[in-house]
Amino acid sequence: MTDYLGKDTFKLGFGLMRLPRLEDGTIDVAQTSEMVDRFLEAGGTYFDTAYAYAGSEEAIRKALVERHPRDKYTLADKLIAFGDACHDEESAKAEFYTSLERTGAGYFDYYLLHALQRGNYKNYDNYHLWDFVKEQKEKGLIKHYGFSFHADPELLEELLTAHPDVEFVQLQINYADWDNPGVASRECLEICRKHGKPVTVMETIKGGILADPIPAVKAIFDRENNGMSYSSWAVRFVASQDGIITALSGMSSLAQMEDNLSYMKDFKPLDEHEQEVIKEAMQAIEDDKSIPCTACHYCTEGCPMEIPIPEIFKVVNRSKGSPEFRTIREYGMVTLNKGKASDCVQCGQCEGVCPQHLPIIELLEKARAYEG
């Protein structure tokens, strides 16, 4: 794609799902403001929030909208048509106006129908949301609209064929999921290119997993001895792809922001040698059996037993090479005053909303071994 919407956008986007938090659990607006300032100073412009990101919209109003001219940044927001946030057409559409009020942005540069997958995509049709976002664009309340996607390539093809006027798509792309059949990053990106749709990228660092990858991947990157962080390999891999508007990183500290800016301020695509290094890392992940959970927490929203599924999976993933007593202790910490893997009633709601299509019930069954 030689020319497309967002071609000249700064290739690092500020994802606002995992903002820094204070001890009481609220978002640290002061640190977020510092991060916003640093991002803008370095040339960043793209900020990504959502109605469903607890506290994010209000925080970005205080840290960005009330402190910087509106023409100095672009703000993306999202509407989710399933789960506790939405139960009918009226409540779905109300999210848009609530997001406008929470952010105080006046309009959204990018607006997305959020997290479309097999179990929910028909809601967006039934609630007439495709027409709704077009109406808001006509009113000037949305500049560009698209959708974020967590499903199979066949459904992506179907959606882009049915909605050819969509202006962009948000995909999960990272080197760990490039050829993962449960995500199909490569194939989905190729479908967007075929339809001429530019892409914003979520899960660039796979929910933080690629900032601290498995030992085999660390060894490959450490061998290069170039002083670059593990995150840099993940972000630059995505930003090097054709047709990318921006690669989102859910930064949760000023240190993470500084690290990302250190190699993205003057971004250089991966060279031929670096591409080969990434291929080695991909193979190392293919040979590993860790659980590819991104901690999006969609699975926990409707869990009747309040099981902290992503946290349990993180403990399991990190158990490799760790003494059993430490794993049991970590498991006890994440399940304190919450449901345990053994409490699972196998209702299946978690598997129905998992963007990674994980066999969660089976994985929880295996995780019982860490209950001590």
The predicted-structure confidence for 277-310, as pLDDT tens digits, reads as follows 999 999 998 888 778 888 899 999 889 999 999 9
Domain count, the chain: 2
Integer CA distances (angstroms), 347 to 148, 208, 251, 350, 360, in order: 26, 29, 34, 8, 11
Q: What's the rounded mean pLDDT across residues 254-272?
A: 96
pLDDT of residue 322: 62
- Residue 91 domain boundaries: 12-286
Which pLDDT tens digit goes with each residue over 317-343?
877 656 787 788 778 878 988 999 999
269 and 334, same domain (yes or no) = no
pLDDT for 208: 83
Residue 272 included in any domain = yes
Strands 168-172 and 142-149, by their bridges, are parallel
293 lies in some domain: no
Strand boundaries in the chain, DSSP class E: 12-15, 46-48, 74-79, 108-116, 142-149, 168-172, 199-202, 244-249
What pLDDT, on a 0 to 100 scale, did the predictor assign at position 320?
A: 67
For residue 245, tell me if it sits in a domain: yes
Return the percentage of the chain with pLDDT > 70, whole number. Answer: 98
Let me know whether 313 and 247 are in one domain: no
Q: Is the pLDDT of residue 85 over 80?
A: no
CATH number of domain containing 188: 3.20.20.100
Structure tokens at 333: 């910490």
Is residue 309 within 8 Å of residue 360, measured between CB atoms?
A: yes
Average pLDDT over residues 187-213: 94
Per-residue pLDDT tens digits for 100-151: 999 999 999 999 999 998 889 999 999 999 999 999 999 999 999 999 998 8
Task: Say how far apart CA 176 and CA 220 lie, in whole Å.
Answer: 14
pLDDT above 80 (res 362): yes
